[in-house]
Chains A and B, each alone.
Chain A
């Protein structure tokens, strides 16, 4: 077993010394030594907007803050004290890119990187509730297995999209014809003429919100009703087979393409009709959003419409734009558009040239997801502090505060709550609880059960849902009293706190600092040390004092916010 604090007193003091030195020296930004041309171009273009709006960026984040956010955003949890120390004890100018490369490329982190991006994409593709309801055909494990394999093997993004849009096969990893990618569409094709498949495919992969135009030409959305139904026509061959009855017989659902005879029953010109707002019917055939028509034939021996669609998507610039915007939004807190998945002509991006540039580079670079991440994370805007300063919040200037409705100019890092999954993984990591959690599959099941308490479905056929997690009373109750926190702040034999209490190589002050590092990525401030000693006076023993202190740290805004 690991003897918890590896560090000796000397190492500890030396590390903190380095922190303050580094903070003074690096008035430049993390990654400034990096030579990637894409990083320089991001920095240049974002700065152009600062200059145009006459604002100044906030100072760079402290090294500890930057390290904490990189771990959270890349692998979905905060760093352990050992990982922080590794980073903080380096005085190499390359320490920023070294850390990012380690998390992206080292085998040691492949599993965690893949798990985090699998979580993000599972929620995106099938929602937090997908596969958890009784009448769902989704096998959540199947979706996750597909995504995990894709991210772990560094599958190019365009390949992944092609597979998700065209997949056929069985949802379940236990089935012979297993193809986890089918889980994306399995619950979206049977009802309402595949309306959900149409909407989700367009919105998620192309950033086009066609669903608003299903019923009529929308006043706030320049897509016309005809476009929706032409996109919808691509999904008229696809079928999900194996509903609840088949499930009761132990069979799992499968996705397949079948001949579409057309509503006029002419397979060679397989048509569909929709209601216009004036009550008249209109015909539609498959036409891609850019106006490209394909064969009207409905027989799969002649034309598989989903494959045609996927081919057209592979050539569309919206493919890379939608992804770049989403990834930028993940790391920077806001995308170039609000919402992040609406790139329609009515919704102009904040930095159109930069979006175009990054999209083109991403395609040029063979849709390598990890490289796109590298460019963004090593950029200057990502490395800024989240504090507002005179240069971007003084009254005479424009305030860079997108939460208050202003355009995001990325002159500071925008504060955001950890997602429920990030909180879970961070608690596990900070208390080293994973050692007792069993296999990967068991861990994921346990996490899934825990997450269900925060997810709620709305009562619609589109399966939309909300989460009552971020900033709510149930969340605070969970952090105050929940089982997870109880375990984390308990001191059962041999657990995190127990080991800290029994550690003989550190004095109490160092132990207090250790807890602050584990939770917040920084040492305690003088007034916090004083507070801790007051707690000690009341408790009368270190064990209960550390329990209280750890509870306080985990419940603080500083812990729960990615800052």
Chain B
């Protein structure tokens, strides 16, 4: 397999031949755009979001909403932070950044199965057999991509894991998945540009012939993805995936592990103008031996990568335009089970958000002294999604039309988490 980013020669050589191509209906392939590729700089007020997805369902009672005086409290102690909150002692680097982040401690949801929870938290909708809803990344990419003419990379990138899909928005809004090393396979074409151009013209003939036979919309989606792929193959912006070009000390600050590299790549992608990046860190499904696993494995890695990301975005003046969301499918049971673990728990748990102008350094809402239920108002996945959209200046009046023709309100008509604004 080839792991190589095409060089500038390829791009320029190829661009000369693109004029005669105009590959597919509604193509975004345009000469002017590719010529300005090198000059791409991040515009002010260009919003982006980074989702730190904690696969498995992290134990937020041990991280962000500690109960030291309860039998449910577990092994860890809270420490003070630069914000107006206390967090786990095993997140000392994050404690230095909590003046920039806020904890929503009154999340209450109903989906405590991995698959259903993952779907719900990513889409704001519970699974429905008759419609597949678009996930965070697809929705936000779809909304923010419009004024990003110079972007040649896919608008939704998922690093180190799968994410949820584009649902009824169609495959051209699917996450582009890469591993944390930024390896993209099969980029190299090894073909003279004129020959590829002619192949693409011939391919277009076959594509449209099949599309015109009216066999369903997936045949059209295929043509759109061809277009996006061609764009990608020839883009210099692919260098955004190469974290090894960062200085040694930066890489060390993020952590020499998959999560650290993924966080660093997220920053580089946001700098390149990608509207939505999802970073995956799994291993939170701690039904047994939770405290050892958290202390020795998960928390050090999370602490280093996440704190580096927040600090770095801030130092580069990207923070006010970049929303960060930290969450998993659900939380974990306040009661500690017989295997020194915690099981699935959706009723009262926390997420962490920051950036893009959201109120920093606070805790929104609270849970009771044993962590068993939310005290007062509770928020849901829809509310969180609506709040992120608001922070990104995406109108909450936005309606999508699902494949069945039914209008669907963005973020499932969630209500704003008012404390964050």
Contact = CB atoms under 8 A, between A and B. Distances in A.
A561 B218 contact: yes
Interface in A456-486: 456-462, 464-466, 468, 470-474, 476-478, 480-483
B30 to A, nearest CB: 19
A211 interface: yes
A462 B188 contact: no
A220 B202 contact: no
Contact of B177 (A214, A406, A462, A474): A474
Nearest to B404: A405
B329 to A, nearest CB: 8
A527 B205 contact: yes
A36 interface: no
A481 B186 contact: yes
A137 B266 CA distance: 34
Interface in A506-563: 525, 527-528, 531-532, 534-535, 538-539, 544, 548-549, 551-553, 555-558, 560-561, 563
A563 B213 CA distance: 11
Nearest to A263: B338
Contacts of A393: 214
Given A458-B162, A480-B229, A464 B222 contact: no
Interface string B204-231: 0111011101111111011101101100
Contact of A480 (B110, B233, B333): B233
B130 interface: yes
B285 interface: yes
A471 B222 contact: yes
A388 B213 CA distance: 8
Interface stretch (B81-89, B239-247, B276-284, B377-385): B276-284
A192 interface: yes
Nearest to A483: B1
B343 interface: yes
A338 interface: yes
A161 interface: no
Given A403-B217, A404-B405, A472-B225, A528 B205 contact: yes
Interface string B341-373: 001110100000000000000000000000010
Nearest to A485: B186
A98 interface: no
B202 A473 contact: no
B110 A275 contact: no
A470 B219 CA distance: 12
A215 B405 contact: no
B131 interface: yes
Interface in A99-145: none
Interface string A211-224: 11011100110000
B113 A477 contact: no
B335 interface: yes
A461 B118 CA distance: 14
Contacts of A558: 206, 209-210
A443 interface: no
Contacts of A404: 402-405
A388 B214 contact: yes
Contacts of B283: 459
Contacts of A277: 347
Contact of B187 (A220, A465, A477, A556): A477
B174 A471 contact: yes
B185 A453 contact: yes
Contact of A458 (B118, B174, B185): B118
Contacts of B37: none
B36 interface: no
A191 B177 contact: no
A403 B217 CA distance: 9
Nearest to B347: A277
B11 interface: no
B28 to A, nearest CB: 14
A69 B195 CA distance: 32
A417 interface: yes
A558 B215 CA distance: 10
B281 A459 contact: yes
A192 B110 CA distance: 21
Nearest to A462: B114
B186 A556 contact: no
Q: Which of A405, A553, A560 has the most CB of B within 10 A?
A: A405
Contacts of A338: 129-130
B213 to A, nearest CB: 5
A473 B129 CA distance: 26
A476 B187 CA distance: 10
A459 B209 contact: no
B190 interface: yes
Contacts of B46: none
B137 interface: no
A535 B185 CA distance: 28
Interface residues of A, number: 77
B154 interface: yes
B395 interface: no
Given A460-B285, A462-B114, A477-B187, A552 B203 contact: yes
Contacts of B113: 211-212, 214
B71 to A, nearest CB: 12
Interface in B262-284: 280-284
A474 B185 contact: yes
Nearest to A557: B222
B215 A555 contact: no
A403 B229 contact: no
Nearest to B403: A404
A33 interface: no
A476 B131 contact: no
Contact of A192 (B207, B287, B406): B287
B130 A191 contact: no
Nearest to A475: B225
A401 B209 contact: no
Contacts of B195: 538-539, 544, 548
A347 B129 contact: yes
A172 interface: no
B228 A458 contact: no
Interface string A286-317: 00000000000000000000000000000000
B396 interface: no
A471 B335 contact: no
A503 interface: no
Contact of B209 (A464, A525, A535): A525
Given A347-B129, A481-B187, A552-B202, A459 B176 contact: no
Given A215-B344, A468-B162, A405 B118 contact: no
B210 A557 contact: yes
A11 B118 CA distance: 56
B394 interface: no
Interface in B53-88: 54-57
13 contacts: A453-B185, A459-B282, A461-B285, A464-B115, A470-B171, A471-B171, A472-B177, A477-B185, A477-B186, A477-B229, A478-B186, A548-B198, A558-B206
Interface of A: 191-192, 195, 211-212, 214-216, 219-220, 275, 277, 279, 337-339, 347, 386-389, 393, 401, 403-406, 414-417, 453, 456-462, 464-466, 468, 470-474, 476-478, 480-483, 525, 527-528, 531-532, 534-535, 538-539, 544, 548-549, 551-553, 555-558, 560-561, 563
Given A215-B344, A415-B216, A465-B162, 11 more contacts: A212-B113, A387-B215, A405-B130, A460-B285, A468-B175, A472-B177, A472-B225, A480-B186, A480-B189, A534-B198, A552-B203
Going nearest first, the 8 A-B pairs with the smallest beta carbon separation are: A459-B282, A459-B55, A338-B129, A405-B404, A404-B403, A466-B162, A405-B130, A461-B285
